[in-house]
Each structure stands twice: as C-alpha cells, then as structure tokens.
Structure 1
Amino acid sequence: MSTVRRPSRRAAAGIVLAAGLALTGLAAPASASTAADADVAFDAFIDAFWDPSEKYFFTNSDHVIDPAHAYGPEDGLYTDFWWEAQLWETVMDAYERTGDPGQRDLIDDVYDGFVAFYPTFANNYNDDIGWWAKASIRAYELTGDPRYLDRSEDLFDGIWAEWDTTYGGGIWWRKDPHDQKNVATNAPAAITATQLYQATSDPAYLTKAQQLFDWVDDRLQVDGHVYDHLEGPGSGTLVKWDFTYNSGNYIGAAMALYEATDDATYLDKAIAAADWTTTFLTNGGTFNDEGIDDGAGFKTILIRHLARLATVHGQTQYLPLLQANVTQAWDHRRTSDDLVGSNWSMPTPAGRLQSLTAAAVVSALQIVPANGYSGPQPGTGIHDAENAVTTNLNAESTSTGFLGRGYLAGWSSDGQAVTFHVNTAAAGAHELRLRYAAAAGDATRRILVNGVAVGANHLFPGTGSWSTWAETDLDNVDLDAGHNTIRVEYASGSGSSQFLNLDRLVVSQQREAEDGTRHGGIGLESSTAGYTGSGYLAGWNGSGQWVDLSATVVKAGRYDLTFRYAAGAGNASRYLFVNGASVVSNLAFPSTGSWGQWRTVTVEDVALTAGANTISLIFETSNGSSNWLNLDHLTLRYVQH
C-alpha cells in the first residue's frame, strides 16, 4: 500500500523549479505527431509496463524494484495506489479515442488487478482514494458497467466524510493527521461529485460539487492562478506551489460544473486558469518538466482538461499549444522503445523510465487532436529562468518588474547555474537575449551552448537596483536544428563575479541586414560601433531603395519580426512587405538620438510559409516613408499560432 504521497518539492517565494535530468545517453530525436502515432505510443507503453498475468502496471520499464520508489504491490515492483488510477485513465483515453474492444477489456482488467491487491481500497490519503473515485465514474460513463458507478459513489462518500469547517471548508488531504487541505484532493472530488450528479440525478451530489469548487475557488486561487494548499493553525497559511495539475484539476472542476449547470461563470473561471497556466508554466512553449515520481504525471491531468476545454467548449486558442507540446514530446522519444521522459523539451535519456512518466505523452497523443504535422517543432523562444533546470539556485519574486512568475537569485559562487533546453527548427545563427538585474554592480558569467563556451566571461552591466531590468545579447550564436542546451553559470576560473538576478532568455533566428539583397543604391557601412555581423545598411532615404531579407523557416505559422536599427537623424519609417504582400504600410522607427545608439522595433504575428520567405523593407514616399535609417539585423521568433 502507498505510504508516501506528496512529491519532493523545491519551493521559494511561491516558485517551483523544474527538476533536471542527466544529459547522458540521449537518443537521437525522431519526427512525427500524427494520428497513427497515438496507436504506436499506446502499444509501446503496454509492451513496456503491462503485466497481463497480474493485471497490473509495472512501476519501471526494466521491471526492477527501485529502492528510492518502493511503494505499491510487491515492494514497488508494481505501481502505487494513485499511479495505477492515472494509468487506468490512460487506458480510458485510448479507448475513448478508438473504441477498440481490446482496450475495452483492458479497462476491466486494470480494475480487477487493482482490486486483487487493494480489495477494500483502504488508504490514509483522501486524494489517492479520490483519484479512484474519479476514474471509476469515468469508467462507468464509458462502459455502462454499474459496478464502476457503485465504486465511485462508495469512495466519494468516504472522502466526503473528511470535509469539515477548518479553513472554511474543504476535504483534508489525509485522514491522519489532518495537516493540509489542497487542490489535489478537493478539485478532483468536485469533478467526481458533478459526474455522479449527472449519472444519478441526485441533487445532493451537485450541491457537494459546488461546495468543493467554491472552497477551492475562494481559498486556493487568485485571478486564475491556482495555488497548492492551506496548512497550519487558524485560517491557515497559503502554500503557493505552482504545479500544472493544480490548474488542470481546477479547470476540470469548473468545466464539469459548467456542463451540469449551464452557468457561464464556471466556464469563465476555467478560461482564466487556462490562460494563466499556458502563459506561466511553459518553457519555450513546452509545459514545464516537473521531475519524475509523482510530478511526471501532473502534465497529463492538465492536458486532459485543457484539451476538453479546447475541443468541447470551443476554446480553440489552446489547440496550437497542445499540438505543439505533443509534437515536441513525441519528437523526443527514444527510438529504441518509443517511450518519452519527463522533460518534453529534451531527448529522452537512456535507461529506466517510470510508468507514470511514460504515460504522460501516451495520454496526450490520445487526447489532443492530431494536426498532421510531422516535422521538427520549433520552440517559442521565450524561456523564463524560473522554469529552466537549475543547479544550486533558487527563485524569487520579491523585486518588482520581473516577467513570468519570478527570477533566479542568490547567485554568486561556483557550482551555481541554469540550463535552458532550447529547440530550434533549423541550424544557423541565433540571437540570445538575456534579461537581468545587477544592482550590486557589473556582473559576469560564463555562457555555454551545447557544452562550448560562447561567452567565457559575458558582461551583465550594473542596473542600479534589483527592480531595474536590462537586456544583454549574444549575437550570431550557432544553434543546432532540434535540441540545444544553453547554460549560464558562475565560474570563478573564467572571471565570473558579483550577484546577478536572471529573469528570462529569448532565442530568435538572426539574419544580418548586410546579407540581404540591396536595391536602389543602399550602402553598406561599418563605421559606427555597436553593430552585429560585418556591418549595417546605410545611405537609405529615397524612393526606389529597399532591401530583401531572406528567411527560411521549417514550420509555417506566425512569427514576430524584430528589426535592429539606428535613426540618428530623427524618426524614420518604412514600408514592410512580406512575400509580396503589404504587412505594415508605414512602419515607425523612432529616433535613437544618435547613430551610435541601436534599438529594436517588433512587428508581431506575421504569417510566414514553410520554406523560403522574403521580407522587404522599402522606402516608399507615397506611403509616408521618411528620413535616414541604418539597419543592422532582423530576428525571427516563432510564436506558435
């Protein structure tokens, strides 16, 4: 029986940092995310983890007990209590997609195998019992077998007995001791109660579902940000851990109540939580790695409910992100066994994988509608430092002005580093832009790309205060197609010095203006300092002058185009054409004050086609183009629309 539940969690100022994985033994990435892959993934999962004789899932892919996770039947050879409920839902995900009779039989087999080990469902943890109550009512909806309805009612009634008025209501996480009330117990219970109401028409279940959701909504979320739990004396201390499954459970509960009541307020709450989660809990557009053990299953719960929000309730704005996540994860599978690890942003390491970890992408492939794309998946390029893989670093959110959920701080000695897993569609030159604060004065760090130093002692000029943020760039850094690592580390041997707060890394493809095709006598100069590449375009102030910049992208979609320029003679403007079509008739380039000052202008959400694109910046008097302009380079960042 499971005796250890909540995952080991590293938290600081309400920020949870992603757990790292060893970067050895990485498999070569594959490419595909189509409907057929859902079948391949499910079959591979069954081959690796299902024991048909015991009717139970193994904990590990090597079928060997790991002393570090020795919970569950036969000392952890098989999965523990709540894992088996999650894997049962993975089987249901597949059956709901395919209607396959073999998968229908497997629903019964998983349940029968579990009951053989846990005939009374005895467990001290109410969330463990709640997962089985929730999965059982789903099994009833899919199969019509009344034993699943009976089981769900019995289990739900047992945990509802653990509701009391402490902290204003809510079900305790465990029966003994009563030490916390969390989302993971109460939101799934709200879903179960709503589904029991739908199945039985008993209004008492709906009342309980509304009480459960209202308590979570009132005590554990603010503006769509769903926190983890309350603990301690009195009215309780709010523990602000951020996990994808908290958001997922809240979204699922809100949707269930919307479906039962037609009250659009619940749908609005689900959307607010989905917006917060998809904004703040991603790494380059891929959902955060939350480590192995329990955390590896959290994304599954989010994706299951987020996909329903997108497909059943018309919130299609989330589909591109979901589809990109499935593609990114499946591209990073091990080709030897078609299994995927916990960090979907990197290739899956060789060696043992846990069943809960591997099941996440299997469920995602069943749930998320395939878009038929079978190429490499570029990331969005936006990597918040608190969502990256850290070494001896903590996150904060006390200084104002940060982006995302916070920033990395307390960083001043050897052995401290952050590693970003960055995925690009094509090899070539990229700009790395780091947002930081350095109130103690100039700081320096070593920056490595794929293990090779590109900035042995990169300077982060002082910012004057910890709430004043600046940006520093590394230009024309070669990245590989697919997966890359970018590591920022304190290395005294390379001259690293001073404290530094790191907020965000933005990675963009880079195209030097001097590499474009010039028309009408535009000049090429290198006399004013601060440019990138070999120079910049100049002598540009009359009709008939323009430059064509080539941009080859692997995936069609929306891209942000950022132009680096100097406008020392005052405000300037130009006509932006992309692939022969007008995009901005008179794009403004505000004055930079001098030719030695460089700034950027960004045009968002520009459609580019897969393959070659031509981006033209034109002096067109009839459209209002004006004044001199020096153009340094263009960067492109995929924004996943």
Structure 2
Amino acid sequence: MKIPTFLKISTLVAATILFMSACQKKGMLSDKDALATGKAGTVTINSVQPVKSEALLAMQCYNNAFYHQYGTYGPSFKAYCYSDVNHTGRMDFWKQAEAIETLIDAYTINNDADLLNKIVYLYNGMRDNWGLLWSSNIYNDDVIWGALMCIRAFQLTNDGGMKDMAKNNFDMVWNRAWDTNLGGGLWWTTDKTSKNVCVNAPAAICAVYLYQATGDAGYLTKAKQILDWMITKVYTSTGEVKGAINAAGVITEGPRTYTQGTFIGACSLLHPYYTSQDYKSKAVKVMDYTKNSMCNAQGLLPDEYDNEDCQGFKGIFARWACKFVKQHNYQSTYASWLNYNAAEAWAYRNSNGLMWGQWWHRTPDNYVNAFETTCGVAMMNGVWLF
C-alpha cells in the first residue's frame, strides 16, 4: 500500500502521533478484538472526555492526512483535500464543502491562524476547480452545501467573494427548485422527482445566514417557507424527520443523522425570529428522537455505511446539534450524550490520529477516506461550543 506523504506538521503533532504509534491506548482495541466483541454496548471503554487541545490535534491530524496545497490563486494559494489516505484523487464537490465546514468548526473553537488559512485556500481550490456558479451540477443539495460553506466562511473572513458565491448559488437553486408542487419545497435534482430534506434543511440554514449577511429580509422569509414546508410534509410529532417525498407525495426515505441535524439547525436559527412558532420545541423532539431511537443503548450515534456518501453524515449532525445546545442552553440535557460520542470517537482513533465513522472499534491504519473521518473531528470540536 502506498503510504501517504504528510505535509508540514508541528512538533506537537509529530510528537503526539509518534506516541500514539508507539503505544496503544487503554481502550483502543485492535480491529480483531473489537469485531470479536461486537458493537458498542458489549465493549467496556475507559472513555475520558477529550480535552480541548485534543480537539485541535484531531483537526491537525486530519489535515496532515488529506490537505494538499497545489499552487497560487492570485495573491493567495489554493488547495484541496485528497479523497482518501492513499491520495488517489481530490474529494468530490459536496464532501469538500463539508471538509471545509469541519475546518470552520475547528477554527471557531481554537482560533488557530493555520486553520483559517487552510479554509481560505480550500475555498480558493473550489473556485479554481468548479468555478463561481454551479448551475451545471444537477444536484441542488450539492449546490446548497457549497453555498452554506461559503456563507459560514464569510462569517470568519468578511470576504465579499464568499458572500457573493453563497448568495448567487442559493438564488440559482431557489429559482430552479422551489415551486408549489407538494405545497412548496425544493426539488432534490433538476429532474424534479423528489423533494428531500438534504437540500431543504441546509437551504433554510443558509437563507438565515444570508439574511444576517445581507440584511435582505427576503432570505428570512424563504428560510421560514422552507422550514414550514418541512414541518408539514416530513416532520413527525415523535421527532423523526423523514428524508424525502416523491412527486406523487409518497415518503420515500426515513431519517438520517445529517437530515435530523440540519432540521435542528434550521429550527434553532429561526426560533429567535419567530418565537410564536416555537421551532425550538420541535428541535428538542428531533434531538430526543435521534438520541433515543437512532442511537444504541449507550447513546452512540449510528454507523451510516450504506455507501461512501453516507459515511460522514453524523459529522453534520454533530455540527448543528452542538450549535443548538449552545444557542439554547441545553447543556444539562444533552452535553453528556454528545461528550460521550466525542470520547468514543477519539478512543478508537488510529495510529495517525484519524477517526472513522464507526465509533465502537478501532479505526483502520491501512485505509480510511476523507469524508468518514470528518465525523469525529466535527464532534470533538462541536462539544467545545458549550
């Protein structure tokens, strides 16, 4: 197997990785041992909540494995993340956007200048490879994930180009995907066969952030329209958020961690503007459903390994769940659960400090991809919001 050539690493990171390579942590079982004992709940782990320096270290380990700077971009630089530890190619569009969001999460917690630079260079890499307007991408959710990344990056940098990319791509999706079929909602693709939460929930979040950035109240109205449509069509009183509804009005997907998470994020952001709607109580129900009906008996978030697109889902859940806890002061209700997941992810890291999306047995040393390994980093940094 080709061994990745890591980029620059700090003395701290190098020393820590050397330590992790030299001795196995207590509770860090081998793949063989973990698989033999079964899934979480049957393995006793001496989990200790990761300290803040470990959250930064987790992000640095990720960058060491996947970040690649490949040239200049005007007066700046451009970069992308490799898709896997073998460096077989660059991450695809929406996964790269999510990797940048993971860096945004980590910078928010750690205020590390190197992370901010990498956010800008990776953003430049997306501009360089995919251009400024992504109308050729038939997947409206892809475009919205990219727009959401851009507006969150703008919040850190005040770079008008980031704001314009977010605005122009959101507007493009709105114009081609929102209609009155099924009472509203955004179509998942330009084929207009289903309306999915994976585009609608992040679009509602993006629209609130665009309102905050531009002062255009039309974006806040659009965010409310999207959320109200989801409440009518895919939200259930149990807190389960169905994933999609087809053109005939039939529900075609069940809940996923990332759609549960982004629905929570939309409710959290819109609640202060429309308190009479009590969106916050709906977010609580979705949090509770995720914890009580989607996790195992110990509260460990589920593996979502149907295909590679699913493997980073719970990193997105971690982002918006942790923001909700912080914004609405639900630490006493949810902090221990989320901290537990962060501790489990870190306990099963591999010798390079990478965490895959299966937080009940050790991350392999020989192969992981860049999307699945965002999960633990997002969770470890997210819990430091509160």
**Which bin holds the TM-score, normalised by the shorter protein?**
0.7 to 0.9
2:321 to 287, 306, 312: 306
1:97 maps to what in 2? 109
Q: Answer yes or no: is the 8 Å Cα contact 1:194–1:260 preserved in 2.
A: no
- Give, in angstroms, the shift of residue 345 of structure 1: 1.5
1:157 to 142, 153, 171: 171
2:64 to 28, 33, 47: 47
Q: Does residue 271 in structure 1 map to residue 284 in structure 2?
A: yes
Alignment partners' CA distance in 1, 2:286 and 2:355: 27
Amino acid at match of 2:358: N
1:198 maps to what in 2? 212
Q: Does residue 123 in structure 1 map to residue 140 in structure 2?
A: no
Alignment partners' CA distance in 2, 1:78 and 1:307: 29
1:61 to 81, 85, 91: 85
Flag structure 1 segments of 5+ consecutive residues without an equivalent.
Answer: 1-21, 65-76, 372-641
- Give, in angstroms, the shift of residue 23 of structure 1: 5.1
2:120 to 83, 108, 111: 108
Amino acid at match of 2:261: G
Runs of 4+ with >6 A deviation: none
Amino acid at match of 1:88: I
Q: Answer yes or no: is the 8 Å Cα contact 2:322–2:385 preserved in 1.
A: no
Amino acid at match of 2:218: A
Q: How does 1:198-347 map to 2 (within 5 A)?
A: 198-223=212-237, 224-233=239-248, 236-263=249-276, 265-283=278-296, 284-291=298-305, 293-316=308-331, 317-334=333-350, 336-347=351-362
Q: Answer yes or no: is the 8 Å Cα contact 2:265–2:320 preserved in 1.
A: yes
Alignment partners' CA distance in 1, 2:200 and 2:127: 24
Q: Answer yes or no: is the 8 Å Cα contact 2:227–2:267 preserved in 1.
A: yes
- The share of aligned pairs that are identical, in percent, is 32
Alignment partners' CA distance in 2, 1:40 and 1:85: 21
Flag structure 2 segments of 5+ consecutive residues without an equivalent.
Answer: 1-29, 36-44, 72-78
Alignment partners' CA distance in 1, 2:207 and 2:56: 32
1:137 to 114, 127, 151: 151
Q: Answer yes or no: is the 8 Å Cα contact 1:35–1:370 preserved in 2.
A: no
Alignment partners' CA distance in 2, 1:361 and 1:182: 26
- Give, in angstroms, the shift of residue 267 of structure 1: 0.9
- Give, in angstroms, the shift of residue 139 of structure 1: 1.0
1:396 maps to what in 2? none
SS of equivalent residue, structure 1 residue 56 = strand
Alignment partners' CA distance in 2, 1:257 and 1:226: 17
Q: List per-residue Cα deviations over 1:204-231 (Å, max 9, x = no partner).
A: 1111111100111110111121011011
* Greater C-alpha radius of gyration: 1
- Give, in angstroms, the shift of residue 242 of structure 1: 2.1
Amino acid at match of 1:307: C
2:383 to 348, 360, 368: 368
Alignment partners' CA distance in 2, 1:51 and 1:25: 34
Bigger helix share: 2
- Give, in angstroms, the shift of residue 246 of structure 1: 1.3
Q: List per-residue Cα deviations over 1:318-359 (Å, max 9, x = no partner).
A: 11000000001110111x211112211222233210101111
Q: Answer yes or no: is the 8 Å Cα contact 2:195–2:247 preserved in 1.
A: no
Q: Answer yes or no: is the 8 Å Cα contact 2:56–2:110 preserved in 1.
A: no
Q: List per-residue Cα deviations over 1:510-569 (Å, max 9, x = no partner).
A: xxxxxxxxxxxxxxxxxxxxxxxxxxxxxxxxxxxxxxxxxxxxxxxxxxxxxxxxxxxx
TM-score, normalisation: structure 2: 0.82
1:437 maps to what in 2? none
SS of equivalent residue, structure 2 residue 345 = helix
Alignment partners' CA distance in 2, 1:43 and 1:301: 19
- Give, in angstroms, the shift of residue 260 of structure 1: 3.4
Alignment partners' CA distance in 2, 1:118 and 1:174: 18
Q: Answer yes or no: is the 8 Å Cα contact 1:30–1:333 preserved in 2.
A: no
- Give, in angstroms, the shift of residue 306 of structure 1: 1.1
Alignment partners' CA distance in 2, 1:40 and 1:190: 32
1:166 to 181, 186, 198: 181
Bigger strand share: 1
Alignment partners' CA distance in 1, 2:275 and 2:217: 15
Amino acid at match of 2:288: D
Q: Does residue 80 in structure 1 map to residue 92 in structure 2?
A: yes
SS of equivalent residue, structure 2 residue 245 = strand
- Give, in angstroms, the shift of residue 369 of structure 1: 2.4
